[in-house]
Chain A
């Protein structure tokens, strides 16, 4: 990377972060929360980019890491009095790391589609356990708990408002991004990318490919768990729906939409997907009301599921923009 490149990158980075820091001042309450959600899903998507984009292993099991982070945080917040933020992080990351180690041990023996299916099945195992173990996990209803305060014992204690929580999530995301960027640029990250390009050759050079894969899955799972903890704090509940494999599928969609192997791409993808979903879910009722004013009755239009156009957009991106939005934009800019 040339010096000019570096300068452009850091300038861009600072501008984006600065914009995100001031963004909530221009937004009403609902959109502040919405932006926080985008950042959390973006963190989850970014964590899976380590596997999808850099190591070339498509994980369909990130809901397990995310969900276990959530339930780990729930355990901490329900047992400690007063609920401790840092304990929530500790338990959540511990749970996610344990699950990630377990999944990684088995799934990294397999490649390509087999890896994808195995991670999917593993996440379903945790889903079934959480769903049926009602005494501990609350089963279908999940768990409700109160939000901890942002506190350092003995120093200060500050209850979270929508605004401070947003900044807190933004800070966690920014630090995570910098850490993951550093990791992907490190020799370790280079080995991951060489496994993506040519696994046999990487092995021949002498790298213990299996061990690298296990570490990659664990690293990815740890950051997914971090996203889970943040989500639990934001929404004050943990539910089995978030362990279901459809969540993993959405995470893969974010990655593909935004562009894999870029770290930022998945965040862009998550933002695009969630904004499109929000927009489309308002579009159809609006169209129906406009049609009704014109005297045209279109039964069912107001309830038209917004996931249908979203699914079609996704398919079109898979077929025509395999590089994702970011890759597409980059190529378009370089034209």
Chain B
């Protein structure tokens, strides 16, 4: 029993870090530009597909990861400029509607282009190491470390680069940032592209663990939304903590019930959060 719990802890943290990667893009986009991106799961899914194609063409997983990130980031920038920029300054609810339309388009495009059969991404690291009574794949640990590294890089980027400073300034006060000469429209486009690229990267990383299909984004966008609300909308650190917390809960729950039912645990966490601290579990109570 103890061994099972330890294994599930490791599983939970691995999935949690990927979820954190998806959710940090979502929360970044929300926190900075008040856009609720319903198409985030589709960007995750498209990233996985671009990964599949690049992998088939070049045979290199790492190249596939980079190409998927760049391609989907460019797509994200295009989506932002065409559908979301015209909605700037309107009620954030409009962005839910517009991105819902985007997700409808992208999902059906993927279904048309790639068909309903799930594709597989071959993991780049195939070794296993003994963990109690089973052989645990090294690749899972690689994903966890890579996700943590990407999130760390994002943090460094926000903290130290010129664009990072601009992004944080825009979060605090968009009008003032504009007045100080920061190219706000470009900053917003870049933020959306970064969020999209992170979703794509997590799609490629997660691809080997499950099949890649056109509906895989749906589960993830829901989970990412739960994480973002539990962690506090627009709060990067809170989202990461919430992602790991919720994934651990689900991993433990799946000791007793099927994984399909274990999702309910994260729903319950969300409801309790909303009842006790509607602004998020991991943020100080607002005054």
A194 CA / B263 CA spacing, docked (Å):
38
- When the two chains form their complex, are residues B98 and A315 in contact, meaning their CB atoms are under 8 A apart? yes
Shortest distance from the beta carbon of A256 to any chain B beta carbon, whole Å: 6
- When the two chains form their complex, are residues A121 and B100 in contact, meaning their CB atoms are under 8 A apart? no
- When the two chains form their complex, are residues B225 and A117 in contact, meaning their CB atoms are under 8 A apart? yes
Q: What per-residue 1/0 map shows which CB atoms of B225-237 lie under 8 Å from chain A?
A: 1100100010000
Shortest distance from the beta carbon of B112 to any chain A beta carbon, whole Å: 5
- When the two chains form their complex, are residues A315 and B101 in contact, meaning their CB atoms are under 8 A apart? yes
Q: What per-residue 1/0 map shows which CB atoms of A295-335 lie under 8 Å from chain B?
A: 00000100111011011101100110010000000000000
Q: Cβ of B156 < 8 Å from any Cβ of A?
A: no
Q: Cβ of B286 < 8 Å from any Cβ of A?
A: no
Q: What per-residue 1/0 map shows which CB atoms of B96-127 lie under 8 Å from chain A?
A: 11101110110011011000000000000000
- When the two chains form their complex, are residues B100 and A116 in contact, meaning their CB atoms are under 8 A apart? no
Stretch binding the partner chain, chosen from B70-78, B185-193, B267-275:
B267-275
Q: Cβ of A13 < 8 Å from any Cβ of B?
A: no
Q: Which of B83, B93, B105, B225 contacts A121 (CB 8 A)?
A: B225
Interfacial chain A residues near B90, Cβ < 8 Å: 322
Number of A-B pairs whose CB atoms are under 8 Å? 108
Shortest distance from the beta carbon of B171 to any chain A beta carbon, whole Å: 17
Stretch binding the partner chain, chosen from A38-46, A104-112, A177-185, A231-239:
A104-112
Q: Cβ of B258 < 8 Å from any Cβ of A?
A: yes
Q: Which partner residue on chain A sits nearest B113 by CB separation?
A: A300
A249 CA / B98 CA spacing, docked (Å):
11
Interfacial chain A residues near B112, Cβ < 8 Å: 300, 303-305, 308
What interface size band does chain A fall in? 35 or more
- When the two chains form their complex, are residues A307 and B108 in contact, meaning their CB atoms are under 8 A apart? yes
Which residues of A89-136 are within 8 A (CB) of B? 106, 109-110, 112-114, 116-118, 120-122, 124-125, 128-129, 131-132
Q: What per-residue 1/0 map shows which CB atoms of B56-90 lie under 8 Å from chain A?
A: 00000000000000000000000000010011001
Q: Which of B83, B226, B270 contacts A319 (CB 8 A)?
A: B83
Q: Which partner residue on chain B sits nearest A105 by CB separation?
A: B275
Q: What per-residue 1/0 map shows which CB atoms of A208-252 lie under 8 Å from chain B?
A: 000000000000000000000000000000000000011001001
Q: Cβ of A58 < 8 Å from any Cβ of B?
A: yes
Q: Which partner residue on chain A sits nearest B108 by CB separation?
A: A305
Q: A-side interface residues toward B, CB under 8 Å?
A: 58, 60, 106, 109-110, 112-114, 116-118, 120-122, 124-125, 128-129, 131-132, 245-246, 249, 252-253, 256, 300, 303-305, 307-308, 310-312, 314-315, 318-319, 322
Sample of 13 further A-B pairs with CB below 8 A, known A112-B91, A118-B229, A319-B87: A106-B274, A113-B92, A122-B267, A132-B258, A245-B222, A304-B112, A305-B109, A308-B104, A308-B109, A311-B102, A314-B101, A314-B104, A318-B101
